[in-house]
Amino acid sequence: MLHLKFKNLAAAAILLLVAACGPKYNEDADLTLEGDISIDGSSTVYPITEAVAEEFRYAAPNVRTTIGVSGSGGGFKKFSRGEIDISNASRSIKEDEAKAARANGLDFIELSVAYDGLTIVVNPKNDWVKDITVAELKKMWEPAAQNKIKRWNQIRPEWPNREIHLYGAGVESGTYDYFTEAIVGTSHASRGDFTASEDDNVLVQGVAGDINALGFFGYAYYEENKDKLKAIPVDDEDASNGAGPILPSLETIKDGSYAPLSRALFLYVNSPAVKKPQVVEFMDFYFENVGQLSQEIGFIPLPDEKYKAEHQKFKDFVAKHTGKATTQRKPDSTNTSH
């Protein structure tokens, strides 16, 4: 039968290509390190972990690292069942997720790996908004604003009597949870009548084409679309971390003065994972390289001391669960791939 022949052909083609493309790696690569590392979670953190994993495959070519993008919530669900080693997260773990993990006998650790600044943007033709306070943002985003706050002059009387159109992250994302926590005060609570998308580029397009728009998304998306968008300085009315309205930038996000919308991005590692030498090696590699790599792809690195502190935190966690120091790994240590 013809379709069987076609199948054989396809299989042969696959095999040929697999054989033709051998791995490329550094000369000082660690060829003894083997096994799998499975990572899943936030699509916001994905590019950072992807960048580290890309470099790690030159350092340890025989380790198979895979990364999924089921979102912070989806990642935690798998993480607390012990189905994955590392969870990418753009928010902290919730109490019920942590409880589920403990119920399955898992201990875990939260590690900050980079910052992101949720940027408030309007259309470049919008000439009335020069700055905005957190209280004003709350007034337009809180659940009570639904069907009530519909015009710019309801927020600040000197703003024009025009409709306001809101654009924001999809409600299943960690970004949405963080934003509502920081602005409204309750995680996962906001008005429902705004344009929501899991794809930030859709929000960029929306705000870029709508003079009455106001939206929020990660700093990298603003950086890449500066010509189409206007960022608005945010005033948290707290002089202790920088007075007045503050624009997001590398410096203000890094030193924390762009509050409350600068947020940390996390990795979560669980206790069975740190018993695998390849995961420990990967995490050590992560902390050595994530500073430079995260900046390269549009995120803001933590200060160096902070990376050292987080790395130490991880080493302590490993020591607690393996009973030995982490940096010296024996080459013959058991391979615990699943």
Partner 1 sequence: MTNSELNRLKDKAFQGFGIFCTLIGLVVLAIFLINILIDGLGRIDWDFLRNLPSRRAHRAGIYTAWIGTLWILVLSSLFAFPLGISAGIYLEEYGKKNRMASFLEVNISNLAGVPSIIYGLLGLEIFGRVFGLGGSLLTGALTLGLLILPIIIVTTRESIKAVPRSIRDASFALGASKWQTIWFQVLPASFGGIMTGVILALSRAVGEAAPLIVIGALAYVPFAPSSPMDEFTVLPIQIFNWISRPQAAFATNAAAAIIILLIITFTLNGIAVYLRHKWQKRVKW
- The least distance separating partner 1 from the CB of residue 18, rounded to whole angstroms, comes to 5
Q: Which helix (H) or strand (E) holds 215?
A: strand 213-217
Cβ–Cβ < 8 Å for 50, 29: no
Q: Which range touches partner 1 (CB under 8 A), out of 141-149, 152-160, 179-187, 194-202?
A: 194-202
Cβ–Cβ < 8 Å for 122, 230: yes
- The least distance separating partner 1 from the CB of residue 277, rounded to whole angstroms, comes to 19
Indicate the residue among 130 and 226 with the shorter CB distance to partner 1.
226
Q: Which range touches partner 1 (CB under 8 A), out of 110-118, 127-135, 164-172, 223-231?
A: 223-231
Q: What would the two tokens of residue 217 be?
A: 């998304």
- The least distance separating partner 1 from the CB of residue 206, rounded to whole angstroms, comes to 14
Map the footprint of partner 1 across residues 297-326, applying CB under 8 A. Answer: 297-298
The residues, any chain, with a CB within 8 Å of residue 201's CB and separated by 6 or more, are 221
Q: Is 22 in the site for partner 1 (CB under 8 A)?
A: no
Helix, strand, coil tally for the chain in percent (to 5) = 40, 20, 40
Q: Is 245 in the site for partner 1 (CB under 8 A)?
A: no
Q: Calculate ∠ Cα 72-77-79, nearest 5°.
A: 90
Q: Which range touches partner 1 (CB under 8 A), out of 183-191, 219-227, 304-312, 328-336?
A: 219-227
Among 30, 34, 50, 110, binds partner 1 (CB under 8 A): 50
The SS3 of residue 309 is: helix
Q: Is 6 in the site for partner 1 (CB under 8 A)?
A: yes
Q: What are the C-alpha distances in Å from 318 to residues 270, 272, 313?
A: 10, 10, 9
Among 97, 142, 200, 235, binds partner 1 (CB under 8 A): 200
Is the peptide bond between 260 and the residue preceding it cis, with omega within 30 degrees of 0? yes
Map the footprint of partner 1 across residues 70-89, applying CB under 8 A. Answer: 70, 78, 83
Q: What would the two tokens of residue 274 be?
A: 């740190």
Indicate the residue among 297 and 325 with the shorter CB distance to partner 1.
297
Q: Which range touches partner 1 (CB under 8 A), out of 58-66, 165-173, 227-235, 311-319?
A: 58-66
Q: Which range touches partner 1 (CB under 8 A), out of 17-25, 126-134, 188-196, 327-335?
A: 17-25
Q: Is 5 in the site for partner 1 (CB under 8 A)?
A: no
Q: Is 248 in the site for partner 1 (CB under 8 A)?
A: no
Nearest of 250, 204, 245, 193 to residue 227 by alpha carbon: 204
Output b/e per residue, 81-112; b: 16+ Cβ within 10 A: eeebbbbbbbbbbeeebbebbeeeebebbbbb
Nearest of 241, 252, 255, 236 to residue 131 by alpha carbon: 236
The neighbour count for residue 324, using CB atoms within 10 Å, is: 10
Q: Is 53 in the site for partner 1 (CB under 8 A)?
A: yes
Greatest alpha-carbon span in the chain = 77
Q: Is 64 in the site for partner 1 (CB under 8 A)?
A: yes
Q: What would the two tokens of residue 322 be?
A: 């393996």
- The least distance separating partner 1 from the CB of residue 54, rounded to whole angstroms, comes to 5
Q: Which range touches partner 1 (CB under 8 A), out of 160-168, 187-195, 228-236, 294-302?
A: 294-302
- The least distance separating partner 1 from the CB of residue 67, rounded to whole angstroms, comes to 4
Total interface residues for partner 1 by CB under 8 A:
45
Footprint of partner 1 on this chain (CB under 8 A)? 2-3, 6-7, 10-11, 13-14, 17-18, 21, 38, 40, 43, 46-47, 49-51, 53-54, 57, 64-70, 78, 83, 198-201, 218, 220-221, 223-225, 293, 296-298
